Amino acid sequence: MAYQQKDYFFQKAKSENYAARSIFKLQEINERFKILRAGYKVLDLGAAPGSWSQYASTQVGKQGRVLGIDLQPIQLTLPNTMFIQDDLRKCDLEAILNAHQMPPPVDVVLSDMAPKTTGIHITDQIRSLELCELALATADQLLRPRGSFICKLFQSDEFENFRSSLRKRFGKVEVLRPKSTRKESKEIFFICLQNQNSKNFGKNSALR
């Protein structure tokens, strides 16, 4: 079934000059869980077309920094935000952050990453889980103790296993289906607070 692209949230995003309707998912998450604050450093994985970075930029303010990364180019210019077109599986994010005056650890890791859907549910679910695991590995590498991690997952039989992995790392793990999610969508969001990781940041990188 084709998406009804020009629904209420599509029109609202357009009228408020956001790159995509997905901004309202992050806005709802932030209003409920207060994950973004002035001065924070935020890593936005799968950032294209850029609406999450747009919102995060307004929340962290002039003293904060946002780095968005995606395989696709992002055609936005924001005063406290940098965009990188690269493959998260191959790039050295720690080096990139340092090069952009945003040395790790970061305060928040966001992931709205989603696979290109095939229409084969099991395939799409597996690929979604793989992206969540990649995002979690990135958070393991770069997120500060007591920092926050948000990621999107297509619902599947692996839901409980992945949530268990998150609960081993974070003091609080919540699940939310934002109001702006399309009715036909199977996506849900994990909101993970109070990172328990106490690693030393620097030379030992799980993603290198």
Active site residues: 152
User: Under 8 Å CB-to-CB from 206, ≥6 apart: which residues?
Assistant: 137, 140, 141
Cα 56 from Cα 23, distance rounded (Å): 9
Give the three-state DSSP class for 126. helix
User: Under 8 Å CB-to-CB from 176, ≥6 apart: which residues?
Assistant: 28, 29, 32, 188, 189, 191
- How many alpha carbons lie under 13 Å from residue 177 in its C-beta half-sphere? 10
